[in-house]
Amino acid sequence: MRRYDDPVEVVRGHVAGLEAPAQFVWREQLWRVCAVVSTWVETGAWWEHRDVASLLGVGGEDGGKSGAVSLASLLAEKEMWRVEAGRGRLGTRAVVDLCFDWSSGIWRLVRCLD
């Protein structure tokens, strides 16, 4: 498995009767989704976020009084899609993980399984 953090342009559509990413552009190549392998939702590692101490009122140079912390920023959800996709006439195929960040509205390709 290779890890990436590349922005991609995604077009949603129907894949096997499921509303899902139907195609995406990655590194100037058009990939068409052949199958959805899996989908899930992830939250960020809120316990590692620098503002958790502030939210709890502990630690930090200012004793945890640095200001308001947005609970939404700590619990931001990402929609994950593992898809099998193909590109080109030769039908090069790959299984990739696409991530949609609800807080930013941006799609990213985060993993490619060899």
* All structural domains of the chain with their residue ranges: 2-113
Q: How far apart are CA 23 and CA 81, in angstroms?
A: 12
What's the pLDDT at 100? Answer: 97
Does residue 31 surpass a pLDDT of 90? yes
- At residue 23, the pLDDT reads 97
User: What pLDDT shows up at residue 92?
Assistant: 87
**Counts for the chain of helices (H) and strands (E), in that order:** 2, 7
Q: What is the pTM of this model?
A: 0.76
Express each pLDDT in 47-73 by its tens digit: 776 667 776 777 655 544 555 556 666
Question: What is residue 1's DSSP assignment?
Answer: -
